[in-house]
A and B are shown apart, each in its own frame.
Chain A
Amino acid sequence: MNEVTKLTAKDWASDQEVRWCPGCGDYAVLKAVQRTMPELAESLEKTVFISGIGCSSRFPYYMASYGFHTIHGRAAAIATGVKLANPELDVWIITGDGDALSIGGNHTMHLLRRNLDCQLLLFNNEIYGLTKGQYSPTSRIGTRSPSTPFGSVDRPALPAAFALGAGARFIARGIDVNKKLTDVLKAGHAHRGAAFIEIYQNCIVYNDEVFAPFTDRKVASEKQLWLEAGEKMLFADGEKGIAYDASTNALKVVSGDSEEVLVHDPKNRSMALMLAEMPADIFPVALGILYEDPAPTFDSAVVEQNRSVAEGKNADLQALVAKGQSWQVTKEPREV
C-alpha cells in the first residue's frame, strides 16, 4: 500500500450474507461497529474479532478483518492467547449473556481480573436465541420460556455488577439502536485494558421488547441516565437528577436543579456499583461509561516480565540440553 486511504464502514463489512432474524438488534450493533471502526484503525489486518457461540457470535463472519468464531463460552480464553502471542493485535470479543455469564462465566471473570487489553462486547438479550428461546442467566424472575413454562425462579445476574466484582477497570452500557453506542465503543477502544461493554440487544423473536420499559422512545428521556465524566447526573431532560442519600447510604432521585445532584466521577468504584444496581422501578437505567479507572494490563505485564527475565541471558539450546550435572564417557563401549 503506497498511500494511506481511509477505510469506510463498507470496507469493514465482509462479503458474507448476514443471517440474523429480520429486525434483530444485532444488525444495529454490527452497523455501529462497522461505522466506528474506520475511526479506530487505519487498516483491517491488525484487528481480530473473536466470538463464542450464540446468535451474536456470528458477528466475526460479517467483519472484513480477521475473525475467529470459537466454541461456547471460550472466546475470552482464546482471546487471551491471541493477545499474549501478538500484543500488537486489536482484540475484540463478541459474546452474549449465556456465552459470557453462564457457560463462559469463569473465563469472563478471569479476563476482567487480569485486565487483558481488549474490548468485550456483551450482547445482552436476556434469552438464549440460537437454541430457541430458553431463559438465560440475565432473564428476570418469572421469565416464561420453553424450559421454564411456569416462569423462571432463579435470580438473574447483573452483568455490570458482575464485571465490577471481577475487577474490571472499564464498564459501560449501550443500547443496540441508540446512536450513543458508537461513543461507548470509542471510549472502550481508547481504554487500555479490558473494556467491558454491555449492549442491551433486542431479540425480536424470543424476547421482544424486554428492554422497552427504558428503551422505548416515549420513556427514553425519563428512564435513561446517560453518564458523562465531570457532568451532572441528569435525566428527564434535565428535570431530574441523581443524588446521594447519606442517611440510607443509597442513591435517590431529586429535582434537576437541586444542589445535591451528583457529578459523575468514573473513577468512583462504589458509586459505579450503586449506579449499576439502581432499581428499575424508581430509577432510570445508567448508561454510558459507569466506571473507568485504568490499571496496568496483563499482556503488558507478561511482555515486560518475559523481556526483563530474558535480558542478558543466552538462549543457547545446546547448553540447555546439557544443563545440570553431567559426566563424560570416553571409552568405547565394551561388550557385555
Chain B
Amino acid sequence: MVAATHTLHGDEDLAQSEAVVVRFAGDSGDGMQLTGGQFTLSTALAGNDLATFPDFPAEIRAPQGTTFGVSAFQINFGSAAIETAGDQPDVLVAMNPAALKVNVEALREGGLIIADSGEFSKRNLAKAGYEVNPLEDGSLARWQLLAFDISARTLEAVKDFGLSNKEALRSKNMWTLGLALWMFDRDRQPIIDWLKTKFAKKPEIAEANIAALNAGHAYGETAEIGGHVKQQHIAPAPAEPGLYRTVTGAESLAVGLVAGARLAGLPMFFGSYPITPASPLLHHLSRLKEFGITTFQAEDEIAAICAALGASYAGSLGVTSSSGPGIALKTEAIGLAVMTELPLVIVNSQRGGPSTGLPTKTEQSDLYQAVYGRNGDAPLPVIAAASPADAFDCAIEACRIATRYMTPVMLLTDGYIANAAEPWKVPDMGEYAEFPVEFATAPEGDFTVKPYARNEDGARPWIKPGTPGLEHRIGGIEKAPETGDIDYSPKAHSLMTAQRAEKIANVADSIPDQDVCLGENGGKLAIVGWGSTFGPIHQAVRRARKQGMDVAHIHIRHIWPFPKNLGDLLRSYDRIIVPEMNMGQLKTMLRDQFLVDAQPLNKVSGQPFRIAELEKAIVEALS
C-alpha cells in the first residue's frame, strides 16, 4: 500500500517502508503481463499482501517501439494490508524508450528506473519521440537510474541453446524477472516449475528461459549493480490463518458462479460472445464442464443472452456476460427476462465508454445502463463487486437473488477487477448456505395452471417445460395476473407493472443493512463508493482518519434495490462525497432516492483513482 512509497530510501520509519510498488513496462511483444503475473505469483507465495494493475494497449500488436504499444503491469506488495495497485511506482522497469516515456512521470521522485540501454537505439528513440537519449542527457536526474544492456546480457545467457536472435531476445523478460526476484528476495523455483510446464513440448525454450532467469538473478547477486540498489526483504503481511491463493476477478467470478449454481442445485448455462475485457470469464468456465456447466459461444451478444434465457426457461441457471457495448445489445432480451420473470445473471465487466470507448481501460460508467437502461418500467437487482476476491461472493449473491426472486440480476465488475490479482483466503464452501431451487410440479386433482401466481416474495413459480400437467405459454407481451394469458388491458398492465416493481423492491428484505466499513455511523463526512474504487477510497479514508479527521467510508454492494437503512445512514453525515470513475452516476441516484446533498468526485481518464487524489478531496471537504 501506499504508505510504502519510500522503500528504497530507507529514510522512513519501518512501517512506512513495508510495501513497494513495481511497474514493469515494455513493448506489447515483450511479455510484460507474463513477467508481472509470475512476479505476482512469487510475491504471493512469499506471503505478501498485494494488488496488481495490468495496463495494456487495445491493439494486439501495435507497431513495435511506439508509445501506444506500451504494455505495463504494476504490482503493489507489502507486509501490511494492500488495497490498491499503488499510486506511484517505486521501481520502473523500462524495456524500451517508449515504455520509459509513457511511465516515468508517474514514478515517485527518487524512485528507481531500470532501463534496457540495448533498446535505446536511434531508431527506437525516434519512435518514442525522444530527440536525445534520456539515459544520457541528465533529464532523469530526479530519479535513480540504472541502465545496462539487458538485451546483450540475455543473448549471452542463452547463447548455448542454439536459438535464433529473435527467439533468444524473447527471454529478456525472464532475465528482468530474475533481477526483480533478486531485488525482493523471492524464490525462483515456482517460476522454474512453471516454465517447465509451459514449455513442456519445447524443452530448449524452457531451458533458455530458465537460464535467462538465473542470469538476471545472478547479476543482482554478484553485485554487478552499482551503488544504491540493495536487496529488499519485504516481510510477509499479517493475515488471518488459513489457505490462500492469488485470484483475478475473472477467476473468482467464474468459480463464484459455479458455486452459486451448485448452491442453487442447478446446472449452469453460460452464453457469451467474445469482448474485452469480459472474455476471460468465458475461457475459465469453458474448462469446467464437470461442474455441470455448458458454455456456448454465440453468434452475437443478442444470441448469447437469448440462449441463456432459453436455458433458464428450460430449468438451468442461465448466465451471460459482456462489457458495456455488448450489454447494450442485450438490452431487449433483458427486458424479456424482466417480463417473463425468469432467473438470469448478467455480468458486465465495464470498460471506458461510450461506444467502443476504451476497451482495455477501466471505468464504472455503466451504472445508469444497469439500473435504468431498458425500455418500459423494467427494474432489476444490481450488485457491484469491490475487488477480485469480492467478486466471488457477489457472484453467489447474484445467483441467489436471481433464483429466489425469479429475475434477471445485473452483476457489475470492471476491467480492473477482471484482470487484477490479489491474495484470496480460500473460502470454506461448507460455510455457505444452500438455496436450492424447487421447480413447480402439478398438484393432485383439478387445478388451473398459474405461472404468474406469486409467493410471499412476489416471485412466480419456476415451471420447467417437460413437467406434465403444467403446460403453459409465456412471452414478452403483457399478461393477465396469475394465468399469464395475453392481456393488455389498462388494468392488467398497471397491476403487472406494480407487481414486477414490488418484487424487486422486496429483494431489500433479504440483503444485509448497509454498514460503514471504516469510521463511525454519522459524523462530518462520508465517502460513499461502489465497485473497484473500494481500494483507494479505503486507504484514503484510513490515512485521513489517522490524521484525526472525522470521515467514514461507506461502500455499497447492493445498488438496486439499495439497503433499507441507506437513506437514514447517509443523512447522519454533514457531507457526502461520491468518488466515481464516471461523471457522477451513483451520486445522482443517491440524490434521487434519498434527497441528500451527495457531491461528486469524478475521474474518467481510464485509470483508477489515486489515493492522494481522494485524500486531497477529504482534506478540502473538512477544512
Contact = CB atoms under 8 A, between A and B. Distances in A.
B427 A67 contact: no
A43 B471 CA distance: 11
Given A78-B309, A88-B466, A321-B429, A302 B471 contact: no
B63 interface: no
A79 B310 contact: yes
Given A69-B474, A77-B306, A309-B289, A86 B465 contact: yes
B466 A81 contact: no
Interface stretch (B87-95, B172-180, B254-262, B611-619): B254-262
Contact of A110 (B238, B303, B466): B303
Interface stretch (A29-37, A260-268, A310-318): A310-318
B290 A314 contact: yes
A60 B318 CA distance: 22
B255 A321 contact: yes
Nearest to A78: B310
B314 A82 contact: yes
Given A68-B475, A310-B289, A84 B469 contact: no
Nearest to B473: A67
A248 interface: no
A55 interface: no
Given A66-B472, A78-B310, A317 B259 contact: yes
Nearest to B271: A81
B307 A326 contact: no
A81 B308 contact: yes
Contact of A306 (B289, B299, B335, B340): B289
A45 B469 contact: yes
Interface in A149-196: none
Contact of B465 (A48, A107, A327, A330): A48
B357 interface: no
Interface string B210-251: 000000000000000000000000001011111111110001
B259 A321 contact: yes
A315 B476 CA distance: 37
**Most interface-central of A66, A302, A320, A322 (chain B CB within 10 A):** A66
Interface string A72-83: 001011111111
A22 interface: no
Sorting the interface of chain B by its residue count into under 10, 10 to 19, 20 to 34 or 35 or more gives 35 or more
Contacts of B309: 78, 81
Interface in B586-603: none
Contacts of B272: none
A290 B47 CA distance: 68
Nearest to A322: B426
A50 B340 CA distance: 14
A280 interface: no
A106 interface: yes
A332 interface: yes
A315 B261 CA distance: 13
B238 A334 contact: yes
Contacts of A85: 267, 269, 294, 310-316, 318
B44 interface: yes
Contacts of B333: 71, 74
A332 B241 contact: yes
B300 A106 contact: yes
A61 interface: yes
Given A329-B240, A333-B240, A322 B299 contact: no
Contacts, number: 217
Contact of A328 (B243, B288, B291, B475): B243
Nearest to A14: B473
B313 to A, nearest CB: 6
Contact of A317 (B238, B240, B258, B473): B258
B313 A327 contact: no
A1 interface: yes
A11 B290 CA distance: 40
Main secondary structure of the interface of B (DSSP, over half): mixed
Contacts of A328: 242-244
Contacts of A84: 269, 294, 296, 307, 311
Interface residues of A, number: 65
Contacts of B306: 70-71, 74, 77-78, 80-81, 107
Contact of A65 (B246, B294, B471): B471
A331 interface: yes
Interface in B1-44: 15, 41, 44
Interface in A75-106: 76-86, 88-89, 106
B17 to A, nearest CB: 13
Interface string A225-245: 000000000000000000000
A84 B303 CA distance: 13
Contacts of A329: 47, 236, 239-244
Contacts of A333: 238-240
B464 interface: yes
A148 interface: no
A265 B358 CA distance: 55
**Most interface-central of B242, B243, B299 (chain A CB within 10 A):** B299
A82 B242 contact: no
A43 B467 CA distance: 11
B465 A82 contact: yes
Nearest to B342: A68
B476 A81 contact: no
Nearest to B424: A321
Interface in B94-128: none
A317 B260 CA distance: 11
Given A60-B473, A310-B289, A333-B240, A325 B44 contact: yes
A336 interface: yes
Interface string B499-525: 000000000000000000000000000
A143 to B, nearest CB: 28
A60 B123 CA distance: 68
A335 B428 CA distance: 25
B275 interface: no
A322 B429 CA distance: 10
Interface string A106-122: 11011000000000000
A81 B311 contact: yes
B488 to A, nearest CB: 12
B141 interface: no
Interface string A7-34: 0000000101000000000000000000
Contact of B476 (A69, A107, A314, A335): A69
B475 A69 contact: yes
A271 B239 CA distance: 73
B477 interface: yes
Nearest to A303: B294
B138 interface: no
A106 B299 CA distance: 8
Given A14-B473, A67-B474, A322-B245, A302 B294 contact: yes
A59 to B, nearest CB: 10
B245 A326 contact: yes
Contacts of A258: none
A1 B292 CA distance: 31
B468 interface: yes
A18 B4 CA distance: 73
Contacts of B240: 329, 333
18 contacts: A1-B468, A65-B471, A67-B472, A68-B340, A68-B473, A69-B475, A69-B476, A77-B306, A81-B310, A84-B294, A85-B313, A107-B306, A110-B303, A302-B296, A320-B255, A320-B288, A325-B41, A335-B238
Interface of A: 1, 14, 16, 43-46, 48, 50, 60-61, 63-71, 74, 76-86, 88-89, 106-107, 109-110, 302, 305-306, 309-310, 313-315, 317-318, 320-336
Lowest 3 A-B CB distances belong to which pairs? Answer: A81-B310, A69-B475, A81-B307
Given A80-B296, A324-B251, 6 more contacts: A45-B468, A80-B306, A84-B311, A110-B298, A324-B245, A328-B243
